[in-house]
Amino acid sequence: MYQHISAFQTFLREKRAAAALLRLPENMVLFSQYWPRYGFAFLFVPANGDPVVICPEVELEDTVEVGVSNAVGFGEVLLSDGDPIANAIAAVEKVRRAAGIADGAKIAIEAGEDVMAPTFVANKIMLTGRNTRRILEGAFQTSDFIPVRDAICEIRSIKNESDLQKLQMVNEILQKSLDYFEAIIQTPGIREIDALADTQCYFSKLACGYKGIRGVCRPFGQLSSGPERSLVAWADGIVSNGRLLEEGDVCMYEIGACVDGYWADLTRTGCVGGYKGQKRIVYEVVKGAFEAGLAAAKDGAVGHDVDAACRNYIEKCGYGKYFVHAAGHGTGFAHSEGFPHLEPGSRDVLRTNMVVAIEPGLYIPGIGGIRIEENVVVGPNGGRILGK
C-alpha cells in the first residue's frame, strides 16, 4: 500500500525532477510498506502519477501481501533469466516510458547516504553502487541526477497512523521478549550467550503471525553482564560470550529488531536476583531521567531539550559524569534514523508523531551499566511509550 507519496511528489516537482528511483530498504518501506528480501528492488515515483514497485519476480508475492497491486517483476535468479542487471534496466525503462518520461530527464536518486537499514536477508545486502548507477543510466538515458536524502529524511521522521500501528506491534513483541529475558536471568548460572539467543528466538517465534501481521522479522541484540562487561555497554557491537550470570549481576540487553520493515530499538537492564542497595538507587535515577525525557518529548521542543531533561535530572542526583552518551535519536524505518538527534546542542525540532528512542544510562565502576531505552511517540504535551 503506497503512502507518504504526495509530499515526496511535491519535492520532485519543486526540483523539476521527472521522477525518482529508490532502492534503500527504509525508503521502500516508507513509501510502499514492502520490505525487500535482499535489496535488489526499486520504487519508481513519478512527479505526477502512480508509483510502481519493480522487483524480482520471486518477490511479487510479498508486494501483494502488503497491498501493492501494480508491481512489475523481472527475472534475476535462474540461469534461464539471463543477465539480471539487463533485466532490471529493461523493467525500469518500460515503467518510465509508460509514465511518459522522455530520455534524458532529471531523475532524483539516493546519493550521499552514509548508512542503510538491513534487508530481510541481512547477510546479502546490495548497496547502491556501480550496478545501481548502470541501471539508472541505462533505464533513463541520463546522467542528470539530484539527491533525495534531506527531503526523504524529513518525510520519514513523521509517522502516519498506519506507521504508528505497525510500530506499536513491533514494540509490543519486543517488550514481551524483554519480559521473557528478565525472567530467565533470575536464576544464576545461565550463560550470557544463552540468554541472548533464547530471547532472540522467543522474539522471532512470537512475531510470526502476531495479531494477524505477517511477522517477517530480524532481531539484532547484544547482551553484556556483570560490573566490567556492562560498564562499556554504551558501545555498539558488544559480543556476548559464555560468562555465567551471577547473583547481583546487572545485565544490559540492547536490541534493535525489525518486523515487516518497521524497527524498534529498546534496552532493558535486568539484575540477577533483583535490584538491591546501590544498584536499586542507580536504577531509580535512570528511571527518573527517562521519565523527565519522556515529558520533554513534546511538539515544538528541540533535541537538546530532551537531552537536557535527562541530563539535568541525573546531574541533580549526583551522577552526571557517568552519563556519557546522547539521550537518543529518531527510529522507526531504521534502527537509528538520521533525524532527529536528541543530544546536547541539537536544534532538531520535534513534531507530533515523530518517533524517538530515549535512552539515558549510567556506567559506574563496581556496578556496571544500567540503561533504560524506550521508543516514544512525540505528542503535543509530551511523549507516549510504544508497546505498553
CATH label of the domain that carries residue 300: 3.90.230.10
Residue 38 has pLDDT above 90, yes or no: no
Same domain, 129 and 214: no
pLDDT, residue 115, reads: 82
pLDDT, residue 232, reads: 87
Mean pLDDT to the nearest integer, 266-272: 98
Amino acid at 76: E
Residue 233 has pLDDT above 90, yes or no: no
This prediction has a pTM of 0.94
Rounded distance between C-alpha atoms, residue 189 and residue 120, angstroms: 34
What contacts 24+ positions apart, CB below 8 Å, involve 137-141?
138/89, 138/93, 139/21, 139/88, 139/89, 139/90, 139/92, 139/93, 139/96, 140/21, 140/92, 140/93, 140/96, 140/101, 140/103, 140/104, 140/105, 140/107, 141/103, 141/104
> Between residues 128 and 70, which one has the greater pLDDT?
70
Give the confidence band of 348 by pLDDT, cuts at 50, 70, 90.
very high
Cβ pair 283, 269 in contact under 8 A: yes
Residue 109 has pLDDT above 80, yes or no: yes
Rounded distance between C-alpha atoms, residue 53 and residue 141, angstroms: 20
pLDDT, residue 116, reads: 87
Same domain, 55 and 148: yes
Question: How confident is the prediction for the chain on average, in pLDDT?
Answer: 95
Rounded distance between C-alpha atoms, residue 330 and residue 76, angstroms: 35
Mean pLDDT to the nearest integer, 154-171: 97
Residue 46 has pLDDT above 90, yes or no: yes
Q: pLDDT tens, 290-308? A: 999 999 999 999 999 999 9
Same domain, 119 and 180: no
Same domain, 211 and 233: yes
Mean pLDDT to the nearest integer, 74-87: 94
Residue 126 has pLDDT above 80, yes or no: no
Last residue of a domain, which of 108, 134, 156?
A: 156
Same domain, 13 and 133: yes
Rounded distance between C-alpha atoms, residue 52 and residue 30, angstroms: 14
Rounded distance between C-alpha atoms, residue 279 and residue 286, angstroms: 11
Torsions phi, psi for 121 (to 5 deg): -85, 80
Give the confidence band of 339 by pLDDT, cuts at 50, 70, 90.
very high
Last residue of a domain, which of 108, 126, 156?
A: 156
Same domain, 169 and 151: no
Cβ pair 282, 197 in contact under 8 A: no
Last residue of a domain, which of 156, 191, 206?
A: 156
Cβ pair 265, 356 in contact under 8 A: no
* Residue from 108, 183, 95 nearest 139 by CA: 95
Contacts of 121 (CB under 8 A, 6+ apart): 37, 38, 39
pLDDT, residue 178, reads: 98
Residue 235 has pLDDT above 90, yes or no: no
In total, how many domains does the chain have?
Answer: 2
Residue 340 has pLDDT above 80, yes or no: yes
Residue 23 has pLDDT above 80, yes or no: yes
Range of the domain at 136: 5-156
Same domain, 193 and 278: yes
Same domain, 142 and 184: no
CATH label of the domain that carries residue 10: 3.40.350.10
Mean pLDDT to the nearest integer, 225-251: 91
Cβ pair 210, 264 in contact under 8 A: no
Give the confidence band of 358 by pLDDT, cuts at 50, 70, 90.
very high
pLDDT, residue 217, reads: 94
Same domain, 213 and 150: no
Same domain, 22 and 142: yes
CA distances from 284 to 153, 180, 195, 267, 291 (A): 35, 21, 24, 15, 10
Return the C-alpha cell found at 190.
Answer: 545461565
Same domain, 116 and 176: no
Same domain, 95 and 223: no
Residue 124 has pLDDT above 80, yes or no: no
Torsional sign, CA 308, 310, 313, 317: negative
